[in-house]
Structure 1
Amino acid sequence: MTRTLYLLCSAAPPVFDVAHVIEDAQARGWDVCLGLTPTAAHWLAGSLDGLAALTGHPVRWQYKLPGEPDVWPPADALLFAPATFNSINAWALGLTDRFVVGVAAEALGKGTPTVTMPCTNTALAAHPQFEQSLAILRTAGVDVRFGEGGFIPGPAGPDAPASFPWPIALDAVSA
């Protein structure tokens, strides 16, 4: 029996690996539906058709109009990764103006098993709201993979993280 995974991604450099992540998730038995923040969709604009073909579902970054059918099957689990500083804080505060944050917020109310792996740098992670947001999400039942056992942030700067532990995120979703 195939399970449905909602893979939600913010605009952080690891999003450029999303095709490989989808393939890995599919090899683990997941039917993947890909949701992106508007900026992540812009970054991947040239790949959106290929990603839709890979998943077999439309890639979404905007809310549907009232009365339009839902084009994704219901989720069995949700993975929000990479989740930026902005997305984590918006999610914890319930600010759902972006599609992926709204889907993640609803997943909490539906009891959908949810994992997130934030991707930020040490300067942003030091902001007091960030730790509060992570605590709120943990209290709501989200498996937050940040720090030891997840993504470990590096210093602020123009460089992308050396690596993003996608296998840890997919292992957590599968657990």
Structure 2
Amino acid sequence: MSGMLSSARTLYLFASAAPPVLDVAGVVENARRDGWDVCLGLTPTAARWLETELEHLETLTEHPVRSEYKLPGEPDAWPPADAVLFAPATFNSLTSWALGITSSFVVGVAAEAIGKNIPTVAVPCVNAAYARRVGWSADLRQRALPVGPHSES
């Protein structure tokens, strides 16, 4: 597929360490078939889970897989995003994002995307114990993350 996506829209696909991340290569393949240039970002734990697949994922996306912020002065390794999909997004990532705690590269870039009015979607993958946590549903409603340029303030 090399060179085939030069005019494609760019999707930042972000993923946390939850079982669906093990199928991220399939998500990348589907997005590329749909005409997206995919840049894959992982939380540090997700990167550790996929450590043996990172080289394959970089070949598949034709971009470096990132799990850390770049150093000051380093050029961007990815083209600008047209959309962000954060799937799976774990309890930790969603809570950090909602609270503005951006120590994780993917959480920070996702938070920044909203400020840049880049359409952004998160697909939670939260285990039952976290979902039963008192206030989880209220937290989500209260701290709902706006998505894209048509979100209400």
Structure 1 residues 44 and 128: CA distance shift in structure 2, 3 A: same
Identity %: 62
The residue that corresponds to 1:89 in the other structure is 95
Whether the 8 Å contact between 1:38 and 1:62 is mirrored in structure 2 is yes
RMSD: 1.4
For the residues of structure 2 that align with 1:92 and 1:43, how far apart are their CA atoms?
Answer: 24
Q: CA offsets, 1:99-147, max 9 Å, x none?
A: 00001100110000011110012221122453244225535237xxxxx
Write the distance in 2 (CA, Å) between the matches of 1:134 and 1:42: 28
- Name stretches of at least 5 consecutive residues in structure 2 with no aligned partner: 1-6, 149-153
- Picking from 31, 49, 57, the partner of 2:55 is 49
TM-score, normalization by structure 2: 0.88
8 A contact 1:9–1:81 mirrored in 2: yes
Q: Please, which runs of 5 or more residues in structure 1 have no aligned partner?
A: 143-175
Residue equivalent to 2:31 = 25
Q: How far apart are the structure 2 equivalents of 1:3 and 1:55?
A: 13
| Contact 1:63–1:99, Cα closer than 8 Å, also in 2 | yes
Match of 2:68 in 1: 62
Give the structure-1-normalised TM-score.
Answer: 0.77
- Identify if the C-alpha distance between structure 1 residues 129 and 61 changes in structure 2 by more than 3 Å, giving closer, same or farther: farther
- Are 2:98 and 2:144, in contact at CA under 8 Å, matched by a contact in 1? no
8 A contact 1:11–1:84 mirrored in 2: yes
Query: What CA distance in whole angstroms lies between the structure 2 residues aligned with 1:72 and 1:90?
Result: 24
Is residue 41–residue 65 contact of structure 2 (8 Å, CA) maintained in 1?
Answer: yes
Describe how 1:67-146 pairs up with structure 2 within 5 A: 67-136=73-142, 138-141=144-147
1:4 partner amino acid: T
Deviation string 1:48-100 (CA, Å, 9 cap, x unpaired) is 01100100000000001100001000000000000001000000000000100
* Residue equivalent to 2:3: none
With over 3 angstroms needed to count, the CA separation of the structure-2 counterparts of 1:106 and 1:133, relative to structure 1, is: farther
